[in-house]
Amino acid sequence: MTSLGLRAFVLVAAGLLLCGCGSAFESPAALVNGAKITQGDLEHQLTLLLSNPQFGTQIRGPGGAERKRDLTRRLLAFLIRERIVAGYAARHGISVSGSEIDQALAQAEAQSGGKARFDQLLRSRHLSLADVRDNVRSLLLEQKVRAAVVGPTSSDQATAQRQDQAFTAWLARQLKSSDISVNPRFGRFDPAQDVICPIDSTADVASCPAA
């Protein structure tokens, strides 16, 4: 999942829990350099994702359960990348202020047709303002880290494309050099391909797409 627009479209996203169960003693979905992604974190983000019709419709009908598992693996891989970015930001003193989040929300409200329309949209997706603020914070933080790594986004399309490639390559290096483990319930992380591979329960091996 590239940035998959997860943080961009989540402003209008919110559905079904993967499990609905949770425990303080439950093993995490993944560990990224010691930082946990709990199963509750993953379930909550899946909830936000699946209420968007673009993704919610994918899990309906024949084969829906397998597509949901695949989407969950892709989402977990995205959250792992997000933890890598957050870790870099913490080490380099990069942060997002409340006023920056407020400004981004004001822009989103204007683009939605005003605050009343924006609030109605959130209610229709069962999305709380706290969820929106958290996701906007993550989006802005990634933008700041990207600027720190490859420079401010260029207005020149060719240069911007090279910057995208440079940031993707940087992130790939970070993933390969990081200590990442995934709960076998979800699969095995392959840093070379930046995917979580499903584990065949009968053969107990991971099956990844070809590089």
Summarised one tens digit per residue, pLDDT across range 50-81 is: 888 888 888 888 888 999 999 999 999 999 99
Q: Is residue 144 part of a domain?
A: yes
Q: Is residue 211 part of a domain?
A: no
CATH number of the domain where residue 37 is located: 1.10.4030.10
For residue 85, which of 206, 171, 166, 193 has the smallest C-alpha distance?
171
- Summarised one tens digit per residue, pLDDT across range 100-145 is 999 999 999 999 899 999 988 888 887 888 989 998 999 999 999 9
Mean pLDDT of 82-87: 96
Alpha carbon distance 175, 207 (integer Å) = 19
Mean pLDDT of 183-187: 94
pLDDT at 8: 39
Q: Is residue 171 part of a domain?
A: yes
Between the alpha carbon of residue 116 and those of residues 82, 106, 109, 123, the distances in Å are: 31, 12, 8, 11
Q: For the purposes of burial, counting CB atoms within 10 Å of the CB of 195, is it exposed (0-12), middle (13-18) or buried (19 or more)?
A: buried
Q: Is residue 50 part of a domain?
A: yes
pLDDT at 82: 95
Alpha carbon distance 48, 159 (integer Å) = 33
Number of domains in the chain: 1
**What tokens appear for 154 in the block?**
């260029």
Quote the domain boundaries for residue 48: 6-206
Q: Is residue 41 part of a domain?
A: yes
pLDDT at 187: 94
Q: Is residue 12 part of a domain?
A: yes
Q: Is residue 103 part of a domain?
A: yes
pLDDT at 24: 54
Q: Is residue 1 part of a domain?
A: no
For residue 185, which of 164, 206, 209 has the smallest C-alpha distance?
206
Q: What is the mean pLDDT of the chain?
A: 84
Helix intervals (H) in the chain: 6-9, 39-50, 53-56, 64-91, 98-112, 115-124, 129-150, 157-177
